[in-house]
Amino acid sequence: MKAIIYLSKSNDKRIKFYIPYKRIDFREKIKRLNSTFWHNNQKLWSIVNTKENLNSLKSIFGNEYIIEQNDAPKPVKKRLLTKALLDEIDELEKTLTLTAHSQSTIKTYKNMLTVFFSRFMNYEIKQITKEQIEGFIYQLIKENKISESYQNQMINAIKAYYEHVLGMPREYYEIKRPRKSVSIPNVLSENEVLKIIQYPENLKHKAILWTIYSAGLRISELVNLRIADIHSDDGYIFVKGAKGKKDRKTILSEHLIRLLRIYYRMYKPSYWLFEGQTGGKYSVTSIRAIFRRAVKETNSNPWATVHTLRHSFATHCLQNNINLRHIQNMLGHNNPKTTEIYTKTIEINNKKIKSPLDNLFENSTLAG
């Protein structure tokens, strides 16, 4: 597969381009250029839009690139809202806080509602029809090329506002939603995981990566771990108030116990298992930086994120013949179908699975 350079208008600030996953050589050269940036949500790279930079891209890609129209997602515009509309957003925040929604959800819904109000600023909000809302979302899909995730978040924010703040009837919210695409999670090999989690020389950094992988934790769950959540005598980690406000237990590795004991004696955390330099929870941003550096320095899969460790945990558990129900409980999935996606991540080759064709020939007297 070839690299793709997306055509830019003269007034565009940046040139966006796509590099195939396997072209590590392209990525290494791109990183040496000034002003390059990786857009994780779009899975695209960009560089400042100059003739010199365009020529540099063409030189790096050689004959292995194509040029296409820029169909990358466009930023969704917002307008300065009136005080009345800002008050409505505050009402949504208050309602969601009282109903124990997470801060992440509240922040997302407020952002989505700001976009929604920007479009309908001159309308009486209660009089906006279902068809107008569908038309608004359709416009975002066509013009801004929003993702399925963004579309669902927008619909959920609108539903939350009309239902919980305005108290309008539920049937109002039957808005068409996208069919959810089924993608296979990105997974690291066992060897890649070992190199990544062993890379940090800093004991706290190493303990953080070990804990995430060994227990299949989300990054938010890691930073919320308390010392009291490590039950070394009973061999489990207690995860309190995880996604969906659910408590659960997950496995506690014997190797991790030994590492955490050394870490505890050295750092002496007071309440949270992993604390920042000035106390309080460890920074999510810092954990991502630790992981990115480990991935880069070990030349591991450049598409991996901290969450990839959780996907890898689930896949490696399956490879080790751990019951799917146990994996579901450790990950905190409500629906077993969510966990079953990991059956598609298991490496398939003729070293692990024998083709029925091979069985036919081995068992047949007519073989040869």
Task: Give the C-alpha separation, 283 to 170, whole Å.
Answer: 39
Active site residue 311: no
Task: Give the C-alpha separation, 87 to 284, whole Å.
Answer: 30
Active site residue 316: no
Count other C-beta atoms under 10 Å from residue 107's C-beta: 12
Active site residue 342: yes
3-state secondary structure of 248: strand
Task: Give the C-alpha separation, 336 to 147, whole Å.
Answer: 25
Task: Give the C-alpha separation, 150 to 106, whole Å.
Answer: 15
Pair 70, 6: CB distance under 8 Å? yes
Active site residue 265: no
* Helix ranges (DSSP H) in 218-323: 219-223, 254-267, 284-297, 306-319
Which tokens in the block code for residue 30? 């791109």
Of 101, 195, 293, 307, which residue is the catalytic one?
307
Q: Which of 203, 335, 303, 315 is nearest to 261 (CA)?
A: 203
Count other C-beta atoms under 10 Å from residue 129's C-beta: 10
Which residues are CB-neighbours of 141 under 8 A, at least 6 positions away?
Answer: 151
Q: Which of 152, 161, 267 is nearest to 206 (CA)?
A: 267
Task: Give the C-alpha separation, 67 to 156, whole Å.
Answer: 37
Of 164, 204, 243, 292, which residue is the catalytic one?
243
3-state secondary structure of 281: strand
Paired with 46 in beta bridges are 16, 37
Q: Measured over all CA atoms, what is the biggest interatomic distance in the chain, rounded to whole angstroms?
A: 85
Of 218, 248, 311, 316, which residue is the catalytic one?
218
Paired with 236 in beta bridges are 231, 251
Active site residue 248: no
Active site residue 94: no
Of 16, 206, 310, 311, which residue is the catalytic one?
310
Burial class of residue 3, CB neighbours in 10 A (0-12, 13-18, 19+): buried
For the annotated catalytic residues, the residue numbers are 218, 243, 307, 310, 333, 342
